[in-house]
Chain A
Amino acid sequence: MDFVSSRWGDVLSNSADHAILVVSVVMAATVFAVLLGIAVRGRQGPRALAIGVVGVGLTIPSLALFTLFIPIVGLGFAPAFLALFIYALLPILRNTVTGLEQVDPAVIESAKGMGMNRRQRLLQIQLPLAWPVIMAGVRVSALLTTGIAAIGVLVAGPGLGEFIKDGLRRLGLPNSMEAVWTGTVFIIVLALLFDLVLSLIQRITTSKGLR
């Protein structure tokens, strides 16, 4: 506690950096994965390919993934962002495809039968119906990236990983464990906060007819 209160300024600025990183990654990943999901839905080949490629990204050890981008974009925010972006894609992509494909065929049949074109069916019927499932994927991605973002400090990325890195470097010295704990706890707090906010957004943006 002493440790936290004596470094309150660092805690706040690291938390803010961490949050900004996660929010920008999740937003970008959501847009990209939802569009990709829409593009490949219902078509065996493209869907398997997209999920496969995105899934491979997730199997690359995080240490390696972060450093892979350094030669291309240098150190700092950019490599951290790119690595996390790749991690965030899979849950959203998967849920988008599942959500869109599990819409009752009778609903789509009747929408088509009433004269809705493809675009109208997608925007007015399929996306709203898949929305809760997509949001569930977004929440998983947010949790995932909040945790993994700690490793971003390896490539000089911003965030609460600073405390953990600092603590590990000074392991055994005074306040080293406190630093690691501070980083860990605030990452967890941040993750829970994100999940809370996202669940609120999900509630507000999902039709009452689906609850």
Chain B
Amino acid sequence: MPDTTLPSPQGRAGATDGDRNVALTPDGFEDVMIRLDSVSKVYPGSTEPAVAELNLGVPRGEILVLVGPSGCGKSTTLRLINRMIEPTSGRIYFDGEDVTDVNPDHLRRQIGYVIQQIGLFPHLTIAENIGTVPKMLGWKKDVIAARVDELLHTMGLEPGEYRHRYPRELSGGQAQRVGVARALGADPDVLLMDEPFGAIDPITRDRLQNEFLRLQADLRKTIVFVTHDIDEAIKMGDRIAILREQSQIAQFDTPERILAHQVDDFVDDFIGSGSTLKGLNFERVSGLNLGGYPVVRHDVGHRVAQNVLADSSQRWLLVLDGQERPARWVNEAHLDRTDRSLLAVGHVVRAKVERNATLHDTLETMLGSSTGCAVVVDAQGRFEGVVEIEALTGVIARLRTEAKAHYEVYAADGTG
């Protein structure tokens, strides 16, 4: 069956996927938590569908980001999942169970829902807001109170201070945290988020995104996250579905692969410039082959240093101090017949990165270095290797080739 939306059986390429990898089921497809099967929505009074024949699978425990231009049907798609909108045709499955016809109120109590405007209940306290769904589900009072405190604590809000406040007594960022806490109230397996951080200033947004990703690393909820901001999509998504009008999927893949290979001009335009640079965020120094750079200890003397430099094809030589830490960059002009210490000639080494640094940060560091190189050090600052620009261009070329090959295999399989 042709199905453009289920992730391919390839898993993911690259060195960073480790803990974000998804268990593959025996038949090769991933463990799908939410599935839309040919779902369409035509709003009353409209001739064109807002969502047309959408097939979509959301892998369990992952964040799937729906991203696309304004009006392409992201919100409509999200609201079809918890049946805020009834589909015109098609079926919706949760955990394999067809929920297209179950009681929508009961369904929604099992699904967290966060919207951009938050919509906290202004006449209820923060505790009452967060406890809304547990109360509807008939939890005991003390269990609800404990759950509320736990969630406030998780969201970084001191329960004693915030429990009895009203929504109008919160800042925008705090209100959005409470909005997320409220959606998590009854510990649902699935969370739907419609531009949850859209109306917040950039600094607070960045902080909320990071907090949320940390939280998700523990919770492993199945999340559908809507945004129109490709950078937010790249940051938040385990997978991204780039949508065009009527919620048609233009490309569905991991952020890494989407950045390395865009299937068509629409995706290319939507991602805009800088996809290569952004792709370097997903690669780390630890994935590089370091070495081959001329290095000497500070006490070898000028003659040996000159020979080492001459034997290499490089213009610069790296000098290590007594503790194996990178100390100076020296070139031929710095090396003479004097017996001055090698630690007193050349330039201080400033551009240093650790193995877990992203290649994006590494490139940033390299651009600020007089030699165009970044020195890799361990946690104690001891020398481990040198990253040159060729190493980065090599990685970029490899990512592109891999992504392209992936799509070719995919197409050859007849599944694309």
List residues of chain A with CB under 8 Å of any chain B CB.
Answer: 104, 106-117, 120, 125, 128-129, 207-210
- A114 contacts B113, CB within 8 Å? yes
> Which of A109, A112, A115, A129 is the one whose CB lies under 8 Å from B122?
A129
List residues of chain B with CB under 8 Å of any chain A CB.
Answer: 82, 84, 105-109, 113, 115, 117-125, 132-133, 136, 166-168, 179, 182, 192
- A106 contacts B123, CB within 8 Å? no
CB-CB under 8 A from A109, the residues of chain B are: 84, 115, 117, 119
- A107 contacts B106, CB within 8 Å? no
> Which of B106, B109, B115, B123 is the one whose CB lies under 8 Å from A110?
B115
The CA of A113 and the CA of B105, in the complex, are separated in Å by 8
- A209 contacts B82, CB within 8 Å? no
CB-CB under 8 A from A125, the residues of chain B are: 121
- B132 contacts A114, CB within 8 Å? yes
- B117 contacts A129, CB within 8 Å? no
- A209 contacts B124, CB within 8 Å? yes
> Which of B121, B125, B133 is the one whose CB lies under 8 Å from A115?
B133
CB-CB under 8 A from B192, the residues of chain A are: 113
- B115 contacts A209, CB within 8 Å? no
A-B contact pairs, 7 of them (CB 8 A): A107-B122, A109-B119, A110-B118, A110-B121, A113-B113, A115-B106, A208-B166
B123 closest partner in A (C-beta): A207
CB-CB under 8 A from B84, the residues of chain A are: 109, 112-113
- A115 contacts B105, CB within 8 Å? yes
The CA of A52 and the CA of B74, in the complex, are separated in Å by 41
B110 closest partner in A (C-beta): A115
B113 closest partner in A (C-beta): A113
- A209 contacts B113, CB within 8 Å? no
- B122 contacts A113, CB within 8 Å? no
Tell me whether A209 and B119 are in contact in the complex, defined as CB-CB below 8 angstroms, given that A113-B108, A115-B109, A115-B133 are known contacts.
no
Which 10 residue pairs spanning A and B have beta carbons closest together?
A110-B119, A209-B166, A106-B117, A115-B109, A113-B113, A207-B123, A106-B119, A115-B108, A107-B119, A115-B105
CB-CB under 8 A from B117, the residues of chain A are: 104, 106, 109
- B108 contacts A207, CB within 8 Å? no
